[in-house]
Structure formats: structure tokens, C-alpha cells
Structure 1
């Protein structure tokens, strides 16, 4: 058997082969390919030499494929069709047939806020798709990880980005302030004096990257007291329930955990801008239809 190396095989020969199969005639094949008859005959001769088979023989009504040609036509057609689709950027993402794992880097906030609805949606529409959530890596490593495809998508609050990254807003989420329910605070806005006096539970990453609460307070000449720094959102209501500290949580999380931990929810004492969630990906995958589909599903599942 001939040792065929696709790196040295002229792919135009396969186009000629598929056209000869369809037309069963060198003249009709040359017309369809806009080539001369000698050029088509030469291409067939080259392909015969490479494959070690006649591929087509003369029959009563035109060219008749050999057994080897019959064996090749299906895979060759599929390969040419897929190549055409890729070059035209038209390969569809079919959720129901897809077998793919998407890796999303995010914090526990995103897991709580978006992931349950996203998984429910995927289970119905794309059962062969798996979502793998990984911790947010250091900001300096995000672009290389996205470029290499080790992470498909990053979902976080707004961050500095290089020219190689694309982004779009997913949603905004208002904050609520929580405190012991037994303190009996009236519903509505949290008292500013108590807010500045009582120690607060704060997530550590916000201290490193800056946050809308302290930025807003500083603009008013105010500052809060930080009593403890934690690594994830889920620890905040637990600590607040055991210490009497204040914590500030995205509304959907606050409303779920407040009754569980004996906390009451209030509007913050001043109007803090609603935190924005943003999706980031590398421009190398900007036209990836699967990634486009995932981003649309995430936006559909985001809670405002």
C-alpha cells in the first residue's frame, strides 16, 4: 500500500477526484472545474500514481469507479465539505449533538448567581456539553491562558485587559447590606452612622483590586471599618451571623442567605453603583460558534 502523506498531497487532486465521481466524464469535469481536459487528465494521472490505483476505468456510459475509489469517495467528500465550511466560517454549533467541555474561570459569586440556571439550560438543550468552573487565576496570566484555550471564558468584574481580549457585559447586580435580624433595624436604607461604625466582612480580592464601596465612600470623605477579610462570598453571611459584623452581598445571594443565618437585608446607606459582570475571551476564538452560543446562554441565565 502506498504511504500517503497529506502534507505533500495536492488537495486540488481530491477536488478533481470528487468531481470526476459526480460527472463520470473528463469533459464534464473540466467544464465544472473551469480547467482544460488535459489538466483534468493530468490530475487524475497524478492521483493514480499517488494512490496506486486506477480509481476510474472506462465503462459503457462513462467512467466507472474502482473499489478503491468507492472506498474513498465518502471520506473525501466529508473532508472537502468540512474544509469549505471552516474556510467560510460557517461551521454551525449544534447544541443537541455537541460533545464539548467549556472551561470558565470565575469566582464563587458567579457559580451561585449563574451556574445553576446555566446547567439546567444545558441539560435540556446540550446534554453532551460539560461546564468546568476553575478559580480566577492572577490577572497577568489571563490573556495567555485564554489564548492557549486552557480557559474558554473569564467572568468577573471589570478588569484591565490587553488588545488581544474581547469582552461584553453580562449583567449588573445591586448590593444589599446585611446585619443581625435581632437588632431590629427598620426595613429600607441602612443607617449610615452604624454602617461606618460597625466592622464589616469583606472579600479579600476586592481589597487588592479596589471596589465600588470604598471608592464611593472615599469620594464623600468617608471610610468603613474592615473587621475581617475572606476568600469567598459564601463565608460572609456565616461570619456576619456569628459576630454581628456587617456584610455587603449581591442581592440574589443576600436574599437567599439572610433568613438562613438570621440576618436582615437593607438598601446600602448610600447609592453604590451596581457591580457589573463581564465576560472576557481571546480574539483568537472570536468567531468560535460554540463560544458564541455559550455567551448567549450565560446572558440568558444571568440574574439582574
Structure 2
């Protein structure tokens, strides 16, 4: 047996008002439409449900037996199923999962965590690092809320992206390095011994491709797989390293190193936030994306 939910709303309204006309007014329908709906409900439940007693309609035992359960079911439908989802950052304990590279954590995480902590103090942030093919699936499945950084391979009809700001690369040497000035000459760049970081990031891959296209060769004296040891290596050697400007500035504040502009006009690259279409209208995801954009978007 199938029953129109609106018939159950009418049942509750008549029970509350004891009057078909007042019930119709509450529901925004005409009195004849309410009477017709009541007739359908009576037929469906095989019971008169309400008996006229003077000016009022009194519930039958059958109506009284189902009224509390009907009210409970309709409340669940209205508040949990049909209501628009909301997100209150001040009370939520949601855990945000973000995909960031090691450099991305340096670029994004400090400012982002401070802002999230201020506006959503009970939430938590977890960062992970995934390969592009894994990342697309994680965004689709919702195990990752958003990816922040340089992911040029993260494309597809259901992947949304928003540019946040442009980034570039810079050279870094120890504070007392023999190379002087604020920019390396191409000759000095090629003659110097280099520290190469191969952390799997697309920005470094883009840089290596650019050097190859310009037919520029470096002398790689040391190759490492992450940026953590870069400051200690650079400040105790004459090596030159090329790294994201934001990371270089951070190291320059903490170690005895300084930055130099590269001899070539290195290409800039856009850092973006990415999310999947499944979460495009999710209040939690919408709030996160707006916050990220507010913190990092540049003109």
C-alpha cells in the first residue's frame, strides 16, 4: 500500500485543529481538496479516521493509534531528509582531509590552519600526499576534501579547480657564498655545483623540462629526495639549489642562507585548489573552498 506523504500531513493537521477547513488553511490547500484527500486516506487505511462531533472532528481509535508514530516519521522526513544540509563551523567537529605535497604544506598549511582554527575551532585537518592517479579517485570517493597545489594532471569533467595565486622558483646559496649580487649569471649558474631535489613534485619536473628546452646543463653534485635537509646542506657548502620562492624565504629566515634570482626567466606556475563535482554543493566543502580562496587568492 502506497500513501502520499501529503495525506499524512493532512491527518496530522486535522488531528491538531479538529477541523478540515483549518487543516486546509494550514497546508495551503482548498477545503474541497482537503476533503478529497481525507476521502483517499480513509480508503487507503480502511477507516473513517475522524468522526464529526458538533463543530469538531474527533479521531477514531485507528487515527489515535497511528498519530504519534506519524508525527515522528514526518518530523524525521522534514528535519533530516527534506531539509537543506547546513554546516556550522563554530560547532562542527569535522575532520578535513587535504592532499598537499611537502612543499604545499609549507606554502599553505600555516596560514590555513590558523584561519580554520579561528573560525572552526573544533574541526581537525589531516594532510596526505597522493600520486595524481590516486588523487582523482580519492576526490571522487570523498576520502579527500580538496587538493591544494600544482597538479596539472588533475583534470577531468568532474574535477573542479580554482586558481589561487602564481608561484615561481628561485636560487639559494649560503650567506657567505663567493657568488655576489642578487642574480646569478648564466655562466655562474652552469659552473656552480648544484644540489638537486627530486621530491616527485610537478614544479621540479617542470623546471627540469624548461632547462632541457633551453639547452642549459647543471653540474649536479648532490641529489636528495626532499627539502628537509636543504638548509643545513646549503649553509655548510658552496652548492646552489633551486626551490620554490616561498620555501626559500622561510629558510632564509631560519638559516644562514640567501636567495638569488635565476639567470633565466623561469616560468611561473599556478597553485590551485581542486575538488570533485560530487562535493560541489556540500556545505562543508563549500565552506572550506571559500575559506581557502579568501586566505590565498591573489588578484
Cα–Cα, structure 1 residues 210 and 265, in superposed 2: closer, same or farther, change >3 Å?
A: closer
Gaps of 5+ in 2: none
Q: Which of residues 171, 180, 183 in structure 1 aligns to 2:177?
A: 183
C-alpha distance in 2 between matches for 1:103 and 1:279: 13
**Structure 2 equivalent of residue 153 of structure 1:** 146
SS in structure 2 opposite 1:190?
Answer: coil
Secondary structure of the residue aligned to 2:231 is helix
Give the stretch that moved more between structures: 58-67 or 95-104.
Answer: 58-67
Q: Aligned in 2, Cα 1:47/1:115: closer, same or farther, shift over 3 Å?
A: farther
Instruction: Find out whether 1:202 has 2:197 as its counterpart.
Output: yes
Higher mean alpha-carbon deviation, 208-217 vs 65-74, is at 65-74
Q: Which residue of 1 aligns with 2:166?
A: 172
Q: Which of these residues, 129, 134, 148, is aligned with residue 141 of structure 1?
A: 134
Matched, 1:43 2:37: no
Q: In the alignment, what sits opposite 2:97? A: 103
Superposed displacement of residue 40, structure 1: 2.7
One of 277, 282, 285 as aligned partner of 2:279: 285
For structure 1, the residue ranges without an aligned partner over 5 or more in a row are 1-7
Q: Which residue of 1 aligns with 2:23?
A: 29
Deviates more, 1:120-129 or 1:73-82: 73-82
Q: 1:99 to 1:43 in 2, by over 3 A?
A: farther
Deviation at 1:289, TM superposition (A): 2.1
Cα pair distance change 1:261/1:72, threshold 3 Å: same
Cα distance in 2 for partners of 1:248, 1:59 equals 89
1:114/1:301 contact within 8 Å kept: no
Which structure: larger Rg? 2
C-alpha offsets along residues 276-295 of structure 1, whole Å, 9 cap, x if unaligned? 21222111111112112111
Q: Pick one of 263, 266, 271 that aligns with 1:272.
A: 266
Root-mean-square deviation over aligned CA pairs: 3.4
Question: What is the Cα deviation at residue 41 of structure 1?
Answer: 4.5
Alignment counterpart, residue 84 of structure 1, candidates 82, 104, 114: 82
TM-score, normalization by structure 1:
0.78
Tell me whether 1:240 sits opposite 2:229 in the alignment: no
Is the alpha carbon distance of 1:257 and 1:48 closer, same or farther for their aligned partners in structure 2, counting shifts above 3 Å? farther
Deviation at 1:95, TM superposition (A): 1.5
- Structure 1 residue 251 corresponds to structure 2 residue 245: yes
Give the deviation of 1:202 after TM superposition.
1.8
